[in-house]
């Protein structure tokens, strides 16, 4: 063998050795995994290092419509008609209780008053007469009490109770009272003196009298 031929064979063997080294040292022709790129590193993921994506505005669901329910509560039934002046009502009973007693110690009771019911319309100025029960003859004493049509008590026509007292006329805001009294020679049945006083409601809560009052009893 010549030195040239021997050198050629050495070159071929060296080339094969280089190929075998490139193929992982295998010479049986089986494909092997490619060696890892030394410039690439693989890091195992762990729960603590997992990145959480922040949702964008477009990813947030839009709230649905809000539904409201309208409940209709029926209005309370209107109160039924009531008397313009009800002697059994609390305000009238309280007003009468404040009158005290007549000159003979009798209590006062309502024996006449504004008539009518609220559904027909009550006057702005209402009245009631309270008569004492202590005097047992014709000289019984009475008070005239005034009320508004809202139930407010305004007071009495006079500070003293008078005999022979009666209401003889009324409008929406006035009440006319007739007073009678005895002369020395008159019998109890037949007083010869009389006068009239008209009481007018002013400003919704003030009573203004006009006329002649009888002598103080």
Q: Which two tokens stand for residue 25?
A: 């040292």
β pairing state of 153-156 and 141-148? antiparallel
Instruction: Give the model confidence (pLDDT) of 51-110 as tens digits.
Output: 555 555 555 555 545 444 545 555 555 567 899 999 999 999 999 999 999 999 999 999
130 domain residue, yes or no: yes
Which domain range does residue 194 map to? 90-211
**Count: domains in the chain:** 1
Whether the model clears a pTM of 0.85, i.e. scores above it, the answer is: no
184 domain residue, yes or no: yes
107 — alpha (psi -120 to 50), left (phi > 0) or beta? beta
What are the residue ranges of helices labelled H in the chain?
Answer: 3-22, 90-97
How far is it, in rounded angstroms, from Cα 152 to Cα 203? 13
21 domain residue, yes or no: no
2 domain residue, yes or no: no
Q: CA geometry: angle at 157 spanning 143 and 170, to 5°?
A: 95
pLDDT of residue 195: 98
Higher pLDDT, 133 or 81: 133
Instruction: Give the model confidence (pLDDT) of 3-54 as tens digits.
Output: 444 444 544 444 444 444 444 444 443 344 444 444 444 444 444 444 555 5
Instruction: Give the model confidence (pLDDT) of 140-175 as tens digits.
Output: 999 999 999 999 999 999 999 999 999 999 999 999
8 domain residue, yes or no: no
How far is it, in rounded angstroms, from Cα 100 to Cα 5? 159
How far is it, in rounded angstroms, from Cα 205 to Cα 149? 11
63 domain residue, yes or no: no
Burial class (CB in 10 A: 0-12, 13-18, 19+), 139: middle
pLDDT of residue 80: 76
pLDDT band at 207 (very low <50, low <70, confident <90, very high): very high
DSSP 149-199: TTS-EEEESSSS-EESEEEEEE-SSEEEEEEEE--TT--TT---EEEEEEE
Q: Which two tokens stand for residue 175?
A: 């009440």
139 domain residue, yes or no: yes
Q: Which two tokens stand for residue 142?
A: 């009475």
Higher pLDDT, 46 or 179: 179
pLDDT of residue 9: 53
pLDDT of residue 56: 59
132 domain residue, yes or no: yes
pLDDT of residue 54: 57
């Amino acid at each position: 063998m010549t030195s040239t031929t021997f050198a050629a064979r050495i070159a071929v063997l060296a080339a094969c050795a280089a190929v075998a080294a490139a193929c992982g040292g295998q010479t049986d022709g089986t494909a092997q995994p490619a060696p890892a790129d030394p410039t690439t590193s693989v890091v195992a993921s762990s729960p603590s290092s997992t990145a959480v994506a922040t949702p964008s505005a477009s990813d947030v669901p839009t709230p649905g419509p809000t539904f409201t329910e309208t409940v209709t509560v029926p209005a309370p039934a209107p109160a039924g008609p009531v008397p313009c002046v009800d002697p059994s009502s609390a305000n009238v009973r309280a007003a009468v209780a404040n009158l005290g007693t007549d000159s003979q110690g009798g209590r006062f009771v309502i024996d006449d008053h504004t008539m009518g019911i609220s559904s027909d319309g009550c006057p702005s100025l209402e009245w009631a007469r309270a008569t004492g029960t202590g005097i047992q003859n014709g000289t019984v004493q009475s008070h005239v009490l005034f009320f508004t049509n809202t139930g407010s008590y305004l007071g009495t026509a006079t500070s003293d109770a008078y005999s022979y007292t009666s209401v003889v006329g009324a409008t929406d805001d006035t009440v006319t009272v007739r007073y009678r009294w005895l002369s020395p020679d008159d019998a109890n049945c037949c007083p010869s003196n009389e006068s009239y006083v008209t009481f007018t409601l002013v400003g919704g809560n003030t009573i203004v009298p006009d006329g002649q009052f009888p002598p103080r009893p």
